[in-house]
Amino acid sequence: MRGVEEINLKTYDPNVYFTSQLETTRRVSKQNSSNVSTSRSIKRVNYSLADLENKLYQTNETTQASTGDNTYNKNIITSDDPTTDSSLYMGRYNQNEVIISNYRCMQLDLENTNNQGDLPSLLSSITNTPRDQIESITNSISNNTNTLKRNNITIDIPKNIQLSYKSTKPIKPTHAKQKRNSNRHIALKKVLNAKRSLYSYVEGLDMINKKIIFMNTYNKRYFKLLYNLNICSICGNYKNISSCVSCGDKICSLNCFNTHNETRCSKR
Amino acid sequence: MDDLPIVIDNGSYEIKFGVSNSRIPFRAINAIAKDKYNTVYLSNQIKGIKDISSVNFRRPYELGQLTSWELESAIWDYCFYNPEEFDGFQLEDTSKKHLVISETCLSLPEFSRNIDHIIFEEYNYGSIYKSPVAGFIPFADLTKDVISISGKADDDDDDNNAKFQEQLVTNDLNTYISSEEPSVTKTAEYKDFQLIIDSGFNCTWIIPVIKGIPYYKAIKKMDIGGRFLTGLLKETLSFRHYNVTDETILVNNIKEKCLFVAPKSYAESFKLKNKTAVEYVLPDFHTTFMGYIKDNSKTKLPDNAQLITLKDELFSVTETIFHPEISRILKPGIIETIIESLSMLPEVIRPLMVNNIVCIGGNFNLPNFSKRLTSELQRQLPTDWTTHVYIPKIDAELFGWKAMAQFSDTDSYRKARITREEYMEHGVEWCTKHRFGYQNWI
Ligand SMILES: [Zn+2]
Ligand SMILES: [Zn+2]
């Protein structure tokens, strides 16, 4: 069964979308069992795609917000507009927990694990959290765990790297109408030689674009639809899970708890 | 002047590029790397590294943003002026060449400007069209080498795959209509409504595309991509087996060769973990550099071979996509992210969007990922909505390039590209603000 239905080929207009979604009481996060009984009583409407498109792209912010009918799901759509990333989780996790989670996520996300770079600065610029706050929280953790040896390896681009293969690049300039010292040329060299890291660019962004790129793309408020899955940090089991009182890691049995105590417990 | 455009899908992991009529693109690793003897390797030279331990990478991208043109231009030169590596391919007079290129969704405006600047003034292309990969997907042919999965089951037979009916797509809306009555409607160049899930190296994007344009208000992102999964696998293997924190190439290979997504649930797969276990032979640097999966039917292993047995690691790492909490990440999973994106769309088109989901990006090469996604999502939606997912049969990481190549053969493309003259007249700021950047649509 397809969601798009009843296309009459004789009268089909590619600019019209047929839908049976009229009921405004529908909620996405409820378990589907509650919806079964309502699924038969369906009114059918067709919408002009051209109108929809206009609404989508040409109206201003406020009318756009109202097209997304707020009865859709009150749990999900909220009117608050969080200014910092961390308020996203408020009510469920405290700010320290959120910072630790974000930091851990970034650490795991490093391609060169032992090459940490300046994670606190980057995290600070992206989430609008003060850098010292991030540092003090994350330092207090890493003091207790075995600190990895961190050798921040830098990889410079070797001069004449093009000699490492048979380059056929023509000798510049091929289109040398441009003056060597023109503003354009200088700007081009500046782009080509830039050595700044992402953090410094993000710092230079205005608040509006920063929000668009780094904040609005995340869920506005913490909500969970799937059940909470806990697995043992030692053996992967998903049953009889409890937490280590000292560090919070998930454990399933006495055996695993002992292993945890001997090796992984960060508060031992 | 209208010869075939050059098409570049400039991914942060790998660059896919070639002439638009090629069946598949060339691919080049978008990085340089240094081994423990301090030798530096450029792009695909990395594949030739023998001693893969302690190799470090540097990429032109940082968190998906193209920050270093110093490095990117060195890698582009390697791609474009290196016929020996790429089957005779090389750029000649670019001033008459058209370029179709992808860029990160929501690039910083400054980086977006830099791309145009470099393409016109360093590489001298004659014209350019640029968009996030998702913007090209509506132009992709979903009738070839694409599998379609429906979230609605014939629940009757309770067999393995009862939840899914899988078939080659033959009857999507556009082709159906055109084959029945070709005189009435001409097959459209693109699909009007699609929800693109692009799970790549850097992260996973949820991008609604309406009439070929990303709908920016509802774009959502989840910070779990291929790089994260490799990192998490490193941590898991290091706790349980050997310290592999410095073994990026090895662990990435184990990820690609062995990992899968639990098809139904973590619990179900956990019960079967001994059945699905894999023995991986670690590199000894004599008989194998990369290691391999032990095959019991094949010849005996060398005497001192080191093995690791992988059981629940194989699917617990990928389970993080749905349940980030198991790796102590307090962020929403992929289903919550999709639902949030849907909730930002006008209500009337939501069921249409879930009926037209397209999954692209390398992580969808993970076995069962798209199936699991379909059933988990269906469970969260009203019963009369049908989740319908299209997924490339093979090489999910190449699908974006193929869509770009198909786009480059349309009138829409020929109308939308920016010529060198327009660029010279209006300047680089204009390209980003009024043509290619997100600012044009917000
Ligand atoms: Zn256990
Ligand atoms: Zn503990």
What is the average pLDDT across B392-409?
A: 96
Q: Do B68 and A169 touch (CB under 8 A)?
A: no
Question: Is A181 at the interface with chain B, CB within 8 A?
Answer: no
CATH number at B379 reads 3.30.420.40
Ligand that comes closest to the CA of residue A231: 1
pTM > 0.90: yes or no: no
The backbone torsions φ and ψ at residue B405, rounded to the nearest 5 degrees and listed phi first, read -65, -40
Q: What is the three-class DSSP state of B423?
A: helix
Same domain, B127 and B13: yes
ipTM of the complex: 0.89
Chain B residues close to A14, C-beta within 8 Å? 185, 188, 192
Q: Do A195 and B70 touch (CB under 8 A)?
A: yes
Does residue B325 belong to any structural domain of this protein? Answer: no
Asked if residue B149 lies in contact with residue B166, where contact means CB atoms within 8 angstroms, the answer is yes
Asked if residue B166 lies in contact with residue B147, where contact means CB atoms within 8 angstroms, the answer is yes
Question: Is B382 at the interface with chain A, CB within 8 A?
Answer: yes
Nearest to A244 by CA among A235, A254, A236: A254
Same domain, B237 and B290: yes
Q: What is the pLDDT of residues B116-170, one digit of tens each?
A: 999 999 999 999 999 999 999 999 999 889 999 999 864 434 443 433 334 333 3
Whether the predicted pLDDT of B271 surpasses 60: yes
Does residue B402 belong to any structural domain of this protein? Answer: no
Q: What is the pLDDT of residues B217-233, one digit of tens each?
A: 999 999 999 999 999 99
What is the average pLDDT across B9-37?
A: 97
Whether the predicted pLDDT of B109 surpasses 50: yes
Does residue B401 belong to any structural domain of this protein? Answer: no
- State the amino acid at position A164 in one-letter form: S
Same domain, B165 and B279: no
> What is the DSSP annotation of B204-268?
EEEEEEETTEE-GGG-EEES--HHHHHHHHHHHHHHHS---TT-HHHHHHHHHHH----SS-HHH
Whether the predicted pLDDT of B7 surpasses 50: yes
Distance CA A160, CA B201 (A): 29
Listed residues B271, B298, B320: the one ending a domain? B320
Same domain, B270 and B200: no
Question: Which residues in chain A (227-266) have CB-CB distances under 8 A to chain B?
Answer: 228-231, 235-238, 263-264
Does residue B32 belong to any structural domain of this protein? Answer: yes
Distance CA B439, CA B109 (A): 8
Same domain, B187 and B216: yes
Residues in chain A: 268
Q: What does the pLDDT read at residue B245?
A: 92
- Both tokens of A86, joined, read 């961390």
Question: Which residues in chain A (151-180) have CB-CB distances under 8 A to chain B?
Answer: 153, 155-158, 161-162, 164-169, 174-175, 178
Same domain, B23 and B122: yes
Distance CA B237, CA B226 (A): 16
Asked if residue B222 lies in contact with residue B333, where contact means CB atoms within 8 angstroms, the answer is yes
Question: Which residues in chain A (24-43) have CB-CB distances under 8 A to chain B?
Answer: 24, 26, 28-29, 32, 35-36, 39, 42
Same domain, B316 and B335: no
Distance CA B74, CA B76 (A): 6
Confidence band of B255 (pLDDT split at 50, 70, 90)? very high
Same domain, B127 and B276: no
Distance CA B271, CA A238 (A): 10
Nearest to B375 by CA among B360, B357, B402: B357
Q: Do A21 and B351 touch (CB under 8 A)?
A: yes
Does residue B265 belong to any structural domain of this protein? Answer: yes
Same domain, B114 and B216: no
Does residue B342 belong to any structural domain of this protein? Answer: yes
Confidence band of B322 (pLDDT split at 50, 70, 90)? very high
Does residue B404 belong to any structural domain of this protein? Answer: no
Q: What is the three-class DSSP state of A81?
A: coil
pLDDT, mean over chain B: 89
What is the average pLDDT across B311-317?
A: 97
- Both tokens of B229, joined, read 């999964």
The residue among A210, A216, A230 with the most chain B CBs within 10 A of its CB, best to mutate, is: A216
CA A120 to centroid of ligand 1, rounded, Å: 33
Whether the predicted pLDDT of B426 surpasses 50: yes
Asked if residue B80 lies in contact with residue B86, where contact means CB atoms within 8 angstroms, the answer is no
The residue whose two tokens read 């070929």 is B212
**Strand B127-131 versus strand B418-419 pairing type:** antiparallel
Asked if residue B169 lies in contact with residue B150, where contact means CB atoms within 8 angstroms, the answer is no
A20 Cβ partners below 8 Å, 6+ apart?
A5, A42, A43, A44, A45, B351, B384
Top-confidence residue, B441 or B405: B405
Q: What is the three-class DSSP state of A44?
A: coil
CATH number at B237 reads 3.90.640.10
Q: What does the pLDDT read at residue B335?
A: 96
The residue among A76, A85, A157 with the most chain B CBs within 10 A of its CB, best to mutate, is: A157
Listed residues B267, B291, B320: the one ending a domain? B320
> How many domains does chain B fold into?
3
CA distances from B246 to A113, A115, B51, B250 (A): 6, 9, 12, 9
Whether the predicted pLDDT of B189 surpasses 90: no
- Domain that includes residue B353, residue range: 139-174+183-223+331-396
Nearest-CB residue to A76 (from B117, B312, B339)? B339
Does residue B386 belong to any structural domain of this protein? Answer: yes
Tell me if the bond preceding A173 is cis, omega within 30° of 0: yes
CA distances from A23 to A5, A72, B72 (A): 17, 10, 51
Helix (H) or strand (E) holding A46: strand A45-48
Listed residues B262, B297, B320: the one ending a domain? B320
Same domain, B313 and B286: yes
Q: What averages of pLDDT result for each successive group of 10 residues across chain A (268 residues)?
A: 49 55 40 39 52 53 36 35 44 84 94 84 91 87 52 85 92 59 84 92 91 88 87 94 89 93 75
Nearest to B326 by CA among B241, B242, B225, B232: B232
Same domain, B213 and B344: yes
Nearest-CB residue to B231 (from A2, A76, A113)? A113
Question: Is B88 at the interface with chain A, CB within 8 A?
Answer: no
Strands (DSSP E) along B132-200, which ranges?
146-150, 165-168, 193-199
Same domain, B200 and B291: no
DSSP state of B349: G
